[in-house]
Amino acid sequence: MTMKSKIAEQVKIASGTEFSLGEIESWIEKPKFSTMGDYAFPCFRLAKEFRKAPHLLAGEIAQAFTLKEIVRTEAAGGYVNFYLDLPLYSAKVLKDVLSKGADYGRQDLGKGKAITMDLSSPNIAKPFSMGHLRSTVIGNALANVTEKLGYNVIRINHIGDWGTQFGKLITAYKIWGSEEKVKKSPIPELHKLYVHFHEQAENNPSLEDEAREWFKRLEDGDKEAVTLWQWFREVSLEAFSEVYKKLDISFDSYNGEAFYNDKMDDVIAVLEDEGLLEESEGARVVRLDEEGLPPCLIQKRDGATLYATRDLAAAFYRKREYSFEKSLYVVGNEQSLHFKQLKAVLKKLNIAWAEDLVHISFGMMLKDGKKMSTRKGKIVLLEEVLEQSMALAEEAIKEKNPNLKEKQQVAHAVGIGAVMFHDLKVFRQNDVHFELKDMLRFEGETGPYVQYAHARACSILRKAEAEEEASTSETVAPAAFGEAERAIVMKISAYDEVIQEAFAEWDPSKIAKYAIDLAQLFNQYYAHTHILNEEDKDVKGQRLLLLKATTIVLKESLRLLGIKAPEEM
């Protein structure tokens, strides 16, 4: 139970309020200055309930409050301020971290429950660009956070392996393609053909008709169309696997759009049975006028299916297969209308779990202030960025620590981590501006800054062990802790809350910002506090234990983001 939860429980008992523990806990604040307490509870909502002046109610709660970790309570205006017994509280927090290790912060909120996570989902035959990074790393981080809370997470890479773009690609390959060139360099060559198709189609609209015909042939099982499609898919997945390997991200399912081809007739039949399908200019749609949405297109005039048809089939399949508590879709902001329509259609079918589908939207990855476009070839390839980032990280490491062993492994962790952290530190719905040099700075709010703080703390602990400081490992009794240590202890103790907030708001940036804050607090502490050269062995031992707890929480915070924490840099 977190300290906030304990305070909420005591406030409820002391006041006799009808408000829930969750509501009370959500109102508890952390004052800006420790002179105003470590926690504060505003009594204004309770005062309305009891028709009593807030300052009088605050006085009553302060007087009746009993909690052993709280050394003092005081009423200040309409607030109750709570002051922790720092040595007692610090000892409890450090024991908790040191005994649990990487399990610190683990909770069982989702015990026995499954959550499906639809993430990454690149289109085959197209390069894995920086634009695909967001869904991949946001989804992976949220999956890690969700697992930390005890849920069984099923990571689904819903590959874009179907749709009219394959008619375009087949058309382009048939007219301009070379089997030899595609075999030699599959993704770049297929991408070049795709871009060339769009350039030519601007002056020759008949190419679009030819592409539609090829896609219809593909849907009808035409042997040549299917053979080409399968080839494009295989070479694409091989190329994607190299990127995922670098990112150290894996999936439980690669069931893409094509997987649902034989499942869409059932969806259409259900919509027909419920009388929801209507003709509209030759196509078939579900009208959503009452929901204030445009019609949801289910079948085109030529009988071809669409995203909505496949996503409806996927939703039914995932519910049957995984019996999910929630089904999450980590997909960009531009698909918001699509997911509103998807849920609206399910509601019209009276599907009880329609609200359990959650669109986790995010902003764009911008280069020079502009969106990256696959059609026009204006993209930045993720694999190239990762290679560049690792090379720059290795250069920086050689300069800062030329004697470091395993430079390449550390450069991999720092280079990849820098790219991922740069994305994840931004609130997901905001756009991210791509600038490699900014990502790799060892100062400021970057991945390397957090990794370096972790490595520096590990270095101090190694030196202490080399000096055979027995007091670094056993007894936790930080009687000498003061204001310098208070900030770090309070930050470490808030880890549970941050994980819960990141989950509740589907926002991994909360973890990234937490890691930055903790790294900054450690660096300030290190700069102003004697640690290895502290003469009092007991004080020194307790400070080293604080550092050990800090390394555990920094490393685990980075792990939740999908980033490694080297012990040397």
Instruction: Spell out the domain ranges in the chain.
Output: 3-84, 382-560
Amino acid identity for residue 14 in this structure: A
For every residue of 375-420, DSSP letters joined together read: TTTB--BHHHHHHHHHHHHHHHHHHH-TT-SSHHHHHHHHHHHHHH
Mean pLDDT across 295-303: 86
In angstroms, the CA 106 to CA 109 distance is 9
Backbone angles phi, psi at 372, to 5 degrees: -80, 135
Q: Give residue-wise pLDDT tens across range 197-213.
A: 999 999 999 999 999 99
- Specify the pLDDT at position 373: 52
In angstroms, the CA 233 to CA 240 distance is 10
In CATH terms, 3-84 corresponds, of 3.40.50.10680, 1.10.10.10, 3.30.1360.70, 3.40.50.2300, to 3.30.1360.70
- With CA atoms as reference, report the closest residue to 128 among 422, 365, 329, 384: 384
What does the mean pLDDT of the chain come to? 91
pLDDT band, residue 470 (cuts 50/70/90): very low
In angstroms, the CA 376 to CA 115 distance is 36
Token duo for residue 78: 């309409």
Amino acid identity for residue 328 in this structure: L
As a whole number of Å, the CA-based R_g of the chain is 28
Q: Give residue-wise pLDDT tens across range 249-298.
A: 999 999 999 999 899 999 999 999 999 999 988 899 999 999 999 999 99
Q: Give residue-wise pLDDT tens across range 471-523.
A: 444 567 777 788 889 999 999 999 999 999 999 999 999 999 999 999 999 99
pLDDT band, residue 339 (cuts 50/70/90): very high
Q: Give residue-wise pLDDT tens across range 410-425.
A: 999 999 999 999 999 9
Token duo for residue 156: 């689904």
In angstroms, the CA 489 to CA 466 distance is 26
In angstroms, the CA 360 to CA 227 distance is 35
pLDDT band, residue 219 (cuts 50/70/90): confident
- Specify the pLDDT at position 275: 95
Mean pLDDT across 317-332: 97
Mean pLDDT across 58-66: 92
129-133, 239-243, 267-271: which has the minimum mean pLDDT? 129-133
Q: Name the CA dihedral angle for 417, 399, 381, 118, rounded to a multiple of 10 degrees.
A: 0
User: What architecture is the 382-560 domain classified under in CATH?
Assistant: Orthogonal Bundle (1.10)
Q: Which residues are bridge partners to 329 per DSSP?
A: 118, 359
Is the CB of residue 196 less than 8 Å from the CB of residue 158? Answer: no
